[in-house]
Amino acid sequence: MSNDGQFPNRSGERSPGGTILTDPSQSSESGLARTDSPADVGWMRPSIAVSLRKLFPHASLVGCADICVRDAVCVSGQVTAGAMFAALPGTARHGREFVADAVERGAASLLVEQPLANCSLPQCVIPNAREGFAQLCHALFGDPTRHLSMVGVTGTNGKTTTTWMVRSILEAACGPCGLMGTIEVSDGVGRAPATLTTPGSRELAMLLAATTHNRVRYAAMEMSSHALDQYRTAGARLDVAVVTNLTQDHFDYHRTFENYRAAKARIFSHLKRGGAIVLNADDPRVLALRETTTSSVVTYGVHSEADVQGKILEQSHAGTHFRVTAGSENAIFWTPLIGEYNVSNALAAITSIRQLGLPLAAMRPGIERLVTVPGRMQRVDAGQSFSVWVDYAHTDDGLQRAIAAVSPLIPGRLTVVFGAGGDRDPAKRPLMGRAATTADQAIITSDNPRSESPAAIAAAIQAGWNRSDPPQIILDRETAIQHAIHTACPGDGILIAGKGHEQVQITAGVSRRFCDVEVARAAIDSHPQRSLHGPSVPHLLNSRKLGKVFQPD
């Protein structure tokens, strides 16, 4: 089975795996036709016939005057009789390699960037087949974002939490809200685990169509740099486009910061007429993007002057109180989430929803009721006398911010357990090591080493360590978490970073089930002093094997 121009997880975008599910009992409407197929969204198939001469008026049509398309796919194994096959360029192979397989399976026409001389099928030739395929998918499913108030969020960090906050605010104040993101997808009625941060073009169009079919009026979507660069989201139109922050990530794919920044800025091209751009004023790189657009720009910030201004009033283990000022509006919010960066995420969500017409006061219940986001500064509490958090931070900026968020809440020492992904941007590894020096102590471990040597990755991380006391290196992640927890004293804190909500560890090309939260909870249950409560006391780290590789027996 081929990828045929799809963009697999090898490109760097994280994928926990999952299947999109909806309720097959729903009746057909809004351009959807019911079938008995269990694949993807199951019963949904497009029923709108699309003229490619009208959709792509400047395209070259080979072997015909027009092509009427009723379904289109870019994976040859998904071709059904009469469908169009889009031969897309992929990260590893090109879809044209699978044209013969698509024809054998009943493809009736092709979408290509160059005419194929040895194929008798009608062909639509356009300069950018990726973009065209995405636009075609949305047309086949009735352009669902026309019927939705859409908030799209991009940025290096904060996409997931911001979209979950958007959904929480809208569901508390207005009604159901669809969601497409790293952890899960939802059509406003059902939910399922996500396969990519941003779904493939056809899957995204189907999910948005299911959302409108369920009479849901709102949706929030994470838009990764990969998806934007690969035009997966072309055809989706946004009422609000948000950029949370820009730091180094995915350079294995984008190569340079300029390419990465340009991919993120592509979100602006998705704006509907009259839509608004929301930028983080506290990040100069984000704020500089306002020079690249003529659309309306609204800013938010904690430290810098902004249209929507936030001020932290109080922080504790229980959550954060902060004030928001926007024009003549002023409101005090409370969130169960901790950390300044989560206040920034809340401001991004609040600013976005304000563009949809909701006043500040109406947003407070939604912010307050979002107790946790899986794997995003998720507290693991089993009655122990020390604190444990699991967080997705897998960039140097994200790690620094996570450490800064929990440090004020810890009377004792703070230990961070982290690693860096294999077959991914190696330049960020020493940066991760440097970021970890802001904790009291660090344990470098494995985080999806994939085909690379875990020891080599750990050594590259340690190269960035700039303190005289070296970190511990415990390559087995389960052992590293156990060691951190079993050596914790009352009042200490442990931050387990990198995997967050993920459910697998990939080593030497083999995936096995692994959940940081489950491992941490089991280690807490077996902690020899779990029942002790009280303030932290000074303690020496005589048992630490500093700078040496510690492996389980």
pLDDT band at 532 (very low <50, low <70, confident <90, very high): very low
Helices (H), 306-427: 340-355, 360-369, 396-406
Tell me what pLDDT residue 500 has: 95
178 and 166 co-located in one domain: yes
14 and 128 co-located in one domain: yes
CATH number of the domain within which 411 lies: 3.90.190.20
Question: Of 341, 369, 397, which residue sits at a domain end?
Answer: 369
What gap in Å lies between CA 159 and CA 149, rounded to an integer? 18
Residue 549 lies in a domain: no
CATH number of the domain within which 323 lies: 3.40.1190.10
Q: Which domain holds residue 33?
A: 9-140
- Contact of 272 with 239, CB cutoff 8 Å: yes
pLDDT band at 247 (very low <50, low <70, confident <90, very high): confident
Residue 548 lies in a domain: no
Residue 483 lies in a domain: yes
Residue 430 lies in a domain: yes
pLDDT band at 545 (very low <50, low <70, confident <90, very high): very low
Residue 248 clears pLDDT 90, i.e. is over it: no
How many CB atoms lie under 10 A from the CB of residue 303? Answer: 12
Question: Based on the structure, what is the number of domains in the chain?
Answer: 3
**pLDDT (tens digit per residue) in 185-243:** 999 999 999 988 788 999 999 999 999 999 999 999 999 988 999 999 999 999 999 99
Closest CA to 458 of 442, 479, 482, 441: 442
Closest CA to 347 of 325, 362, 379: 325
Question: Of 351, 369, 387, which residue sits at a domain end?
Answer: 369
483 and 436 co-located in one domain: yes
259 and 130 co-located in one domain: no
162 and 180 co-located in one domain: yes
What gap in Å lies between CA 63 and CA 216, rounded to an integer? 42
227 and 328 co-located in one domain: yes
> How would DSSP label each residue in 314-330?
EEETTEEEEEEEETTEE
Tokens found for residue 442: 């660090």
469 and 394 co-located in one domain: yes
- Phi/psi region, residue 412 (left: phi>0; alpha: psi -120 to 50; beta: rest), is beta
Tokens found for residue 95: 């879809």
Arithmetic mean of pLDDT, 253-274 = 88
Tokens found for residue 96: 């044209």
Give the type of residue at 525. Answer: D
Residue 547 lies in a domain: no
85 and 66 co-located in one domain: yes
Closest CA to 438 of 405, 460, 485, 409: 405
**pLDDT (tens digit per residue) in 487-507:** 999 999 999 999 999 999 999
150 and 76 co-located in one domain: no
What gap in Å lies between CA 395 and CA 510, rounded to an integer? 24
Question: Of 369, 401, 429, which residue sits at a domain end?
Answer: 369
Residue 464 lies in a domain: yes
DSSP state for residue 189 in the 8-state scheme: S
What gap in Å lies between CA 155 and CA 242, rounded to an integer? 8
What gap in Å lies between CA 284 and CA 327, rounded to an integer? 22
Residue 546 lies in a domain: no
Residue 254 lies in a domain: yes
pTM score, whole prediction: 0.87
> How would DSSP label each residue in 81-97?
TT-EEE--B-SSSBGGG
423 and 457 co-located in one domain: yes
Residue 435 clears pLDDT 90, i.e. is over it: yes
Q: Which residues contact 255 (CB under 8 A, 6 or more apart)?
A: none
Tokens found for residue 469: 């006391």
393 and 481 co-located in one domain: yes
355 and 218 co-located in one domain: yes
